[in-house]
């Protein structure tokens, strides 16, 4: 944090006035200590700091803390003079609204002077906290578009300042930095675009899978229909078993009543037998009487055995009916368990579940029921069946909406693919244009290089001829008068040939210059060098003419 960023905090010192803060209040004193310790602990204070130290600090502790806080305002602050001189001056620069006397700083840890100094340090901490929050808000209040525009504005202003200052290296560095940011942003956007494409493809695949897979609602409805069919079958079996049980119970009661009557008759017969036995014991029996009594006894015994056998048969049938009823109840209980599992899987149980909508879908089996209507605890016809039908209709509508959303997503995916293919085609066309431009540039460059090489060879040839002429004129200087006419003629021919060659060279140079100008002026420096070379050749030719003239 530089002092230049806080220029708004500096101003003309305010008029000294009384401090309205409760400096003698213990809660205010402890609050200032907590705020200072909290700020120091979160901003890497390099020295030990505790409530005990801030309650009664030494001069060294105060100097270290004050210097550290001042450096938070001005990182360029390297030296610290006398505390009693520097501290009030710095607080005045910060426009601290209250007077901080030097006498309070001479005895900084004393009970009568320390509260006001501590309040001033707490004011510094509040100012620093406000500055941190302002920086955070300034960094987060822009969206991506505004942040990009802000960065470009800063780039434009910075490069324009460098341009006005004539600092081309810094301007180029700023251009390279902005180009790197644009390329990074382009890479991020391409990556985001690729991620969106992959997300769209994943969503399309999920939609396609959802279309191919059977609907869970249809499976649940089929399972429900199967459970309802089994329930009806079991209800019919239970109703038949209950009717059979009632019939068997009635027959058992009748047989038991017959058995009781026969037991009573047997008891009466036994009583009669005892009476008769007693009477017979007191009478003299004949052989015919004995035979008759034996036959009667056998008859009664046979009758008793028949009754006992019939009773056992009725008890066996009753046991079998009870076993069959228990098996039916167990089967119904298993179907109820499967029904409850399906309800839990679909989120219909308990009644407070998300999809139950307050409807009690739970059913329980009453094994001690005496009638078919009392066998299950829930209202199937009035509550359960209408609720399931309503749920089925709701999910059918939801499935139709999901299918429509899938169609919309597919259309969006097709549009994105078409746009992507168009961008790829445009990119391929641009690449072809760039390749063609590079090929034309390469051809023009080669042609220019060949022309420059030819012109250079021709210039060398002219230089050689001029050198030969110069050497010949020097060697034949003694007989110049005899060969003056021949030399003059040769000079005139050479001059005409040179003029023609220079003219031809000028035309070639102009043609090359026109080609270079069409190529966006990239070879302008080469043309200037070539013009300089032609000027040198012309000068040499003129020098040769002057020498021949002399």
Q: Are 39 and 128 in contact (CB under 8 A)?
A: yes
End-to-end CA distance of the chain: 82
Q: How far is it, in rounded angstroms, from Cα 83 to Cα 100?
A: 12
pLDDT score, position 37: 93
Query: What is the mean pLDDT, run by run of 10 residues, along the chain of 550 residues?
Result: 40 59 91 93 90 89 90 80 85 88 82 90 92 70 64 84 86 88 87 89 85 77 85 84 83 86 85 77 69 83 86 84 81 81 77 72 71 68 77 80 82 82 80 78 75 70 68 60 68 71 64 56 59 65 62
pLDDT score, position 291: 81
| Longest CA span, the chain | 214
DSSP-based three-state secondary structure for 376: strand
pLDDT score, position 294: 81
Sign of CA dihedral 404, 409, 414, 418: positive
**DSSP state letter for 6:** G
Q: Which two tokens stand for residue 3?
A: 């002092």
Q: How many helices (H) and strands (E) does the chain have?
A: 13, 0
pLDDT score, position 85: 84
pLDDT score, position 407: 83
Q: Alpha carbon of 463 to those of 497, 527, 540: distances in Å?
A: 13, 20, 8
Q: In degrees rounded to 5, what are phi and psi of residue 438?
A: -65, -40
Q: How far is it, in rounded angstroms, from Cα 64 to Cα 181?
A: 42
pLDDT score, position 124: 93
pLDDT score, position 30: 93
DSSP-based three-state secondary structure for 1: coil
DSSP-based three-state secondary structure for 365: strand
pLDDT score, position 27: 93
Q: How far is it, in rounded angstroms, from Cα 290 to Cα 474?
A: 195
**In whole angstroms, what separates CA 464 from the centre of its chain?**
78
Q: How far is it, in rounded angstroms, from Cα 133 to Cα 42?
A: 14
Q: Alpha carbon of 27 to those of 139, 178, 357: distances in Å?
A: 35, 53, 55
pLDDT score, position 8: 37
Interval 2-52: pLDDT, tens: 444 343 333 444 455 678 899 889 999 999 999 999 999 999 899 888 999
pLDDT score, position 10: 38
């Amino acid at each position: 944090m530089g002092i230049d960023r806080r220029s708004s905090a500096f101003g003309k010192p305010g008029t000294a006035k009384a401090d309205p803060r409760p400096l003698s209040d213990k809660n205010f004193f402890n609050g200032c200590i907590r705020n200072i310790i909290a700020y120091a602990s979160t901003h890497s204070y390099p020295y030990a700091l505790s409530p005990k130290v801030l309650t009664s600090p030494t001069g060294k502790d105060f100097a270290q803390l004050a210097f550290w806080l001042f450096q938070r305002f001005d990182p360029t602050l390297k030296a610290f003079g006398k505390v009693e001189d520097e501290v009030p001056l710095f607080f005045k620069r910060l426009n601290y609204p209250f007077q901080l006397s030097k006498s309070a700083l001479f005895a900084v840890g004393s009970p009568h002077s320390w509260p006001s100094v501590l309040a001033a340090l707490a004011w510094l901490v509040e100012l620093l906290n406000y500055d941190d929050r302002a920086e955070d808000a300034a960094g987060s209040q822009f969206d991506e578009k505004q942040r990009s525009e802000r960065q470009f504005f800063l780039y434009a202003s910075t490069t324009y300042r460098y341009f006005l200052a004539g600092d081309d290296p810094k301007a180029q560095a700023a251009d390279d930095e902005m180009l790197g940011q644009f390329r990074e942003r382009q890479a991020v956007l391409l990556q985001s675009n690729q991620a969106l494409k992959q997300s769209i493809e994943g969503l399309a695949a999920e939609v396609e899978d959802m279309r191919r897979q059977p609907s869970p609602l249809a499976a649940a409805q089929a399972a429900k229909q199967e459970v309802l069919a089994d329930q009806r079958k079991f209800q019919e079996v239970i109703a038949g078993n209950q009717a059979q049980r009632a019939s068997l119970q009635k027959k058992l009661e009748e047989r038991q009543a017959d058995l009781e009557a026969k037991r009573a008759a047997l008891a009466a017969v036994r009583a009669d037998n005892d009476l008769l036995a007693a009477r017979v014991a007191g009478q003299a029996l004949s052989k015919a009487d004995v035979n008759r009594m034996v036959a009667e006894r056998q008859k009664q015994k046979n009758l008793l055995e028949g009754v006992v056998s019939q009773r056992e048969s009725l008890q066996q049938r009753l046991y079998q009916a009870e076993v069959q009823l228990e098996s039916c109840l167990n089967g119904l209980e298993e179907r109820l368990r499967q029904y409850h599992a399906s309800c839990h899987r679909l989120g219909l149980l308990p009644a407070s579940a998300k999809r139950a909508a307050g409807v009690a879908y739970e059913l329980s089996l009453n094994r001690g029921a005496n009638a078919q209507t009392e066998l299950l605890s829930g209202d199937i016809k009035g509550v359960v069946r209408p609720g399931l039908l309503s749920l089925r209709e709701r999910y059918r509508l939801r499935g139709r909406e999901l299918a429509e959303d899938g169609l919309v997503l597919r259309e969006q995916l097709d549009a994105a693919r078409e746009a992507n293919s168009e961008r790829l085609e445009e990119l391929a066309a641009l690449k072809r244009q760039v390749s063609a431009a590079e090929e034309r540039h390469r051809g023009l460059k080669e042609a220019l290089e060949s022309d420059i090489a030819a012109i250079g060879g021709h210039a060398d040839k002219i230089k050689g001829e001029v050198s030969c002429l110069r050497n010949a004129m020097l060697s034949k200087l003694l007989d110049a008068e005899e060969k003056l006419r021949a030399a003059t003629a040769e000079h005139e021919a050479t001059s005409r040939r040179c003029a023609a060659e220079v003219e031809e060279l000028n035309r070639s140079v102009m043609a090359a210059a026109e080609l270079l100008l069409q190529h966006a002026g990239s070879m302008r420096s080469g043309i200037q060098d070539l013009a300089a070379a032609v000027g040198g050749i012309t000068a040499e030719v003129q020098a040769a003419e002057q020498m021949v003239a002399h």
